[in-house]
Amino acid sequence: MHGTLADERTGNAPDLRRIGLHPNYWHPLAVAKDLKKGKTLGVSFAGDPIVLVRTESGKVFALEDRCSHRQMPLSCGVVAGEVVKCCYHAWSFNAEGRCAIPYLPKDAQRPRGVRPYPCREAYGLIFVFPGDIALADQVPFPDLPEVDAPTHKTMFFTRKVNCHYSFMHENLMDMNHQFLHRRWLKRVKPTLLESRRADGLVEAKYKFELTEGEAPLGAKIMLGGEQDDPANEKFDIMTVTTRYPYQTLQLRRPEDDENVLDLWSDYVPLDREQRTHQTFGFLSIRKPDRFAFLLTAFWPVIRYFTESVFTEDRFAVEMEQRAWDAQGADWNQEILPFIMDLRALLVTQGVPINARASGASFAQAAE
Ligand code: FES
Ligand SMILES: [Fe+2]
């Protein structure tokens, strides 16, 4: 059932859930503090096992997580100085993946090492470039100025979600699913203002306002104070953008030239079939000019609100994945043109799941 790309119901269109996330980007694979000095951490990108190593001097490197001798995971190994030693026969591997063997016979040829991955630590995360090494320097690294800025307070979150990454993009961009969050966002009314598709991105802009009545405290704080007063016609502009492969959400008051809230996320496939992923996200809120301490005081409320909303979204997207698994194809009926654009973007920028190792995009592979 899962062998072909085509959606059996729509004929020619490739099934988005069979499209892999393109590996030629910088993707976060771990939280930096989870990798202590002199330790290893086994992670994965779309079924490729990767070991992250923090050397005794504190440097981080990433290698294929299989010893080139007998395939023992190097994440079971031991860090010694600036190398990792396999736990089985003690072959040791440096940051470039080259190996040294303690008992190599004098006349024996040195065996091949393992694949190294470009690796960078930033924003408290460890990013890896799982694709073509030659491209790593040319591909822009995520630029998240709000995350470390003193003007903002940032919440980091990461969760394993049992669904294909594409469901996350669709879920966030289609704001008509507020009904799912009716416990929290009953009074929130999103109205689509415009959408656009450009090279490598799809964007939807909404007017986001609170209708009459009391909104939950978390929503009020995030949407900015007194908006539940009907006499006060304040509203926010919410912009949701998928700039492949990342997704952002921004909230801005129409009269402001800065965002009140910036969300950035990447949905990193874990298994080879890409039916599970790890969400990595930053939610940055600009500190108000006056009473900035209030943001800190209400931080637990905002976190509770955010986590509650995320839990509902996770429930929905996991149900969607469950249906896809049972039906063996994408039976969803999409009616919004910009969500169709988003789906097309994810298809054309991605790679067919089984051919992902080639690094070719779907468009190239289809030629
Ligand atoms: S399996 Fe790694 S050293 Fe033998
Ligand atoms: Fe949602």
Where among 117, 139, 165 does a domain terminate? Answer: 117
Residue 163, domain member (yes or no):
yes
Residues 157 and 248 reside in one and the same domain: yes
* The predicted structure's pLDDT at residue 367: 40
Q: Are residues 168 and 61 in the same domain?
A: no
Q: Which atom of ligand 1 is nearest to the CA of 77?
A: 2
Q: Which ligand is nearest to the CA of 315?
A: 2
Is 126 part of a structural domain of the chain?
no
Structural domain for 109, as ranges: 36-117
Q: Could you tell me if 73 and 164 lie in one domain?
A: no
**Final residue of a structural domain among 62, 93, 117:** 117
Least confident of 116-130, 141-155, 181-195: 181-195
Domain assignment present for 29: no
37 touches ligand 1 (CB under 6 Å): no
Residue in 144, 195, 142 with CA at minimum distance from that of residue 173: 195
Kindly state whether residue 68 falls inside one of the protein's structural domains.
yes
Specify whether 321 is located in the same domain as 181. Answer: yes
Read off the pLDDT of residues 328-342 as tens digits, 9 standing for 90 and up: 999 999 999 999 999
Tokens (6 digits) for 163: 């669904």
Q: What are phi and psi of 28, to 5 degrees?
A: -70, 135
Q: How far is the CA of 310 from the centre of ligand 2 (A)?
A: 7
Residue 123 CA to ligand 2 center (angstroms) comes to 25
**Helix/strand/coil for 196:** strand
How do residues 217-250 score in pLDDT, each as one tens digit?
A: 666 666 655 544 444 557 889 999 999 999 999 9
Q: Which residue has the higher pLDDT, 289 or 248?
A: 248
Q: Which of 122-131, 318-327, 351-360 has the least mean pLDDT? A: 351-360
Residues 53 and 160 in one domain: no
Percent of the chain whose predicted confidence (pLDDT) is above 90: 77
**Average pLDDT for residues 338-362, to the nearest whole number?**
79
218 and 280 fall within a common domain: yes
For residues 311 and 221, membership in a common domain is answered with yes
Residue 196, domain CATH: 3.90.380.10
Residue 160 is assigned to a structural domain of this protein: yes
Q: Which residues does residue 60 pair with via DSSP β-bridges, in sequence order?
A: 54
Within a 10 A sphere around the Cβ of 349, how many other Cβ atoms?
A: 20
Structural domain contains residue 134: no
Average pLDDT value for the chain: 90
Q: Which of 101, 51, 52, 53 is nearest to 72 (CA)?
A: 51
Helix (H) or strand (E) holding 121: strand 119-122
- Of 117, 135, 168, the last residue of a domain is 117
* Ligand number with the minimum distance to the CA of 72: 1
* Cβ atoms of 272 and 47 closer than 8 Å: yes
Using 50, 70 and 90 to split pLDDT, how confident is the model at 354? confident
Report the distance separating Cα 356 and Cα 216, nearest Å: 44
The pLDDT score that the predictor gives to residue 184 is: 81
Residues 249-257: contacts with CB under 8 Å, at least 24 apart: 249/172, 251/208, 251/222, 251/223, 253/224
Regarding whether 212 and 104 lie in a shared domain, the answer is no
- Residue 279 C-alpha to ligand 2 middle, in angstroms? 14
- Does the beta carbon of 70 sit less than 6 angstroms from any atom of ligand 1? yes
Averaged pLDDT for residues 71-91: 98
Vertex 313: Cα angle to 354 and 23 (nearest 5): 25
pLDDT at 2 over 70: no
Instruction: Decide if 172 is inside a domain.
Output: yes
More confident residue, 100 or 221: 100
Q: How many domains does one find in the chain?
A: 2
Write down the pTM of the prediction. 0.90
Give residue 73 CA to ligand 1 midpoint distance, Å. 9
337-349 vs 165-173: helix axis angle to the nearest 10?
Answer: 150
Same domain, 266 and 215: yes
The protein residue whose alpha carbon is closest to atom 3 in ligand 1 is: 89
Q: In angstroms, what CA-CA distances link 360 with 16, 46, 305? A: 16, 15, 40
* pLDDT given at position 365: 42
Task: Return the higher-pLDDT residue of 362 and 224.
Answer: 224
Ligand 2 centroid to residue 185 C-alpha, Å: 10
Which range among 17-31, 117-131, 214-228 shows the weakest confidence by mean pLDDT? 214-228
**Domain membership flag for residue 312:** yes
- pLDDT attached to residue 255: 87
| Ligand 1 contacts CB of residue 67 (under 6 A) | yes
Cα separation, 221 vs 260, in Å, equals 11
State in Å: Cα 301 to ligand 2 middle.
Answer: 18
Question: What is the average per-residue pLDDT within 116-130?
Answer: 98
Starting at the earlier edge strand, list the strands of the sheet with 60-64.
39-45, 48-54, 60-64, 116-117
Q: Write the Ramachandran bin of 23: left for phi over 0, alpha for psi from -120 to 50, otherwise beta.
A: alpha
pLDDT category at 61 given cuts 50, 70, 90 is very high
Please check the confidence at residue 42 and state whether its pLDDT lies above 90: yes
Q: Which residue has the higher pLDDT, 363 or 328?
A: 328
- On whether both 175 and 71 belong to a single domain, the answer is no
Nearest ligand, CA 167: 2
Residues 73 and 180 in one domain: no
Q: What pLDDT does 74 receive?
A: 98
Asked whether residue 8 carries a pLDDT value surpassing 60, the answer given is: no
DSSP-derived 3-state class of residue 286: strand
Ligand 1, atom 4: nearest CA belongs to which residue? 89
Ligand 1 and 104: CB distance under 6 A: no
Res 227: pLDDT: 46
CATH of the domain at 83: 2.102.10.10
Ligand 1 atom closest to Cα of 68? 2
Same domain, 280 and 328: yes
Nearest Cα neighbor of 19 from 366, 357, 354 is 354
pLDDT value at residue 223: 62
- The answer, yes or no, to whether residue 196 has pLDDT greater than 90, is yes
- Return the number of other C-beta atoms located less than 10 Å from residue 292's C-beta: 12
Give me the pLDDT at residue 101, please: 95
